[in-house]
């Protein structure tokens, strides 16, 4: 182990600023006249309002396509609450409350986990300093670890399988929620009659 600005790290590891190993896109909000909730354009996310456990839920759309996060980009909130994280599972337009972060070295999963550690406490960054907002300069200067390539490759292989499973489960849950929302009102209003169905209530 050797000393570093982040404390003791393995000898072959390095500490690098986020700006050296990632591309960062800061969001910019178009005028409200370009927003809609009818699905026209790309999904638009201003901040964390529609953040989920891992992926954002689409509600608002935008017909102006300027600041676009691509599939797999890390979405990090840069305005209060600072540091909340999601992952883009489709192309989306990002507003001024978000940034999109993409690894330059194909180690996106490793970067994601490090950022989750850095911003594990809401509105703080690393050292515990409280922020109402962070600038691009603040973000680019965040210090991250860079292990040898062989370690990152092994990590990414394992993490990719987990990410795919999370994505599939998210799609299934979303479809189940939509089915529930369609059926429940019809069941309550008796529009759908289930009285003749052979359901063993005791077994259930």
Q: Set out the domains of the chain in order of their start, with CATH numbers.
A: 14-147 (3.90.220.20)
What was the pLDDT predicted at 125? 58
Tokens 């969001």 identify what position?
27
What was the pLDDT predicted at 191? 86
Element (H, E) at 160: helix 149-188
Q: What is the pLDDT of residues 15-54, one digit of tens each?
A: 999 999 999 999 999 999 999 999 999 999 999 999 998 9
Cα–Cα dist 71/81, whole Å = 23
Whether the model pTM is above 0.85: no
Using 50 as the pLDDT threshold, list the residues of the chain that sit under it.
Answer: 127
Cα–Cα dist 143/140, whole Å = 8
Tokens of 150: 């062989």
Pick from 159, 80, 70: nearest CA to 114? 159
What was the pLDDT predicted at 122? 54
What was the pLDDT predicted at 12? 95
Element (H, E) at 153: helix 149-188
Cα–Cα dist 133/77, whole Å = 9
- For the chain, the C-alpha Rg in angstroms (whole number) is 21
Pick from 118, 86, 80: nearest CA to 101? 86
Cα–Cα dist 134/82, whole Å = 7
What was the pLDDT predicted at 31? 94
């Amino acid at each position: 182990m050797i000393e570093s600005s982040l404390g003791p790290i393995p000898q072959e590891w390095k500490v690098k600023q986020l700006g050296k190993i990632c591309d960062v896109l800061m969001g910019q909000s178009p005028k409200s006249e370009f927003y809609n909730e009818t699905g026209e354009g790309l999904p638009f996310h201003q901040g964390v309002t529609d953040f989920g456990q891992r992926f954002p839920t689409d509600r608002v759309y935008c017909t102006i396509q300027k600041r676009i996060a691509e599939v797999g980009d890390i979405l990090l909130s840069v305005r209060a609450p600072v540091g909340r994280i999601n992952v883009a599972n489709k192309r989306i337009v990002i507003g001024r409350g978000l940034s999109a972060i993409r690894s330059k070295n194909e180690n996106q999963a490793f970067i994601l986990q490090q950022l989750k550690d850095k911003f594990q406490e809401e509105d703080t960054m690393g050292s515990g300093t409280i922020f109402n907002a962070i600038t691009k300069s603040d973000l680019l200067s965040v210090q991250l670890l860079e292990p040898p390539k062989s370690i990152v490759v092994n990590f990414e292989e394992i993490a990719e399988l987990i990410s795919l499973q999370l994505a599939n489960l998210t799609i299934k849950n979303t479809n189940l929620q939509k089915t529930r929302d369609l059926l429940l009102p019809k069941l309550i209003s008796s529009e759908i009659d289930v009285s003749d169905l052979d359901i063993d209530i005791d077994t259930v």
